[in-house]
């Protein structure tokens, strides 16, 4: 099982330069766990691409349908109060956006529940750096 940030899930439903690499990571370990709010982050990314003209209306509809089916296959962290507490503490240590602190807080909660190291799949450099500082195994490895 790997924890997936929304930044790494988007290329699985929308064609991007990173899509092939992200598909390979998923093929290596197909069990996804993510924060429940990831669905909203991904819908926001799809709608933004539509507004920017990168997706047509028919493409948008197809992507949203594909995304809905895909999202039903993963596990979601839904413990809002526990994630919020973690996220608030993380914001004191790292320069993160609130949603990213929530993602990292959810991943750390999962790692604690597993009592084992957890891989964190993330394409956001700032979030990946914070995850590494919090002792998560980041995929891809952040550049030195």
- The predicted structure's pLDDT at residue 80: 97
Q: pLDDT tens digits, residue range 49-71?
A: 999 999 999 999 999 999 999 99
- The predicted structure's pLDDT at residue 141: 78
Instruction: Give the pTM.
Output: 0.93
Please choose, from the candidates 69, 6, 14, 10, the residue with its C-alpha nearest in 3D space to the C-alpha of residue 33.
6
Tell me: domain 2-139, CATH 3.40.50.1010, correct? yes
- The predicted structure's pLDDT at residue 143: 59
Q: pLDDT tens digits, residue range 77-126?
A: 999 999 999 999 999 999 999 999 999 999 999 999 999 999 999 999 99
């Amino acid at each position: 099982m790997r924890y997936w940030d929304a930044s790494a899930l988007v290329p699985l439903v929308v064609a991007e330069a990173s899509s092939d690499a992200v598909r390979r990571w998923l093929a290596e370990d197909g069990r996804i766990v993510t924060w429940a709010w990831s669905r909203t982050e991904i819908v926001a990314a799809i709608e933004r691409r539509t507004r920017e003209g990168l997706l047509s209306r028919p493409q948008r509809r197809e992507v949203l349908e594909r995304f809905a089916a895909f999202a039903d296959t993963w596990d979601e962290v839904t413990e809002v109060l526990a994630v919020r507490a973690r996220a608030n503490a993380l914001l004191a240590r790292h320069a993160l956006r609130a949603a990213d602190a929530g993602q990292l807080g959810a991943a750390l909660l999962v790692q604690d529940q597993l009592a084992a190291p957890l891989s964190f799949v993330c394409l956001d450099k700032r979030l990946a750096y914070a995850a590494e500082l919090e002792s998560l195994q980041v995929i891809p490895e952040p550049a030195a």
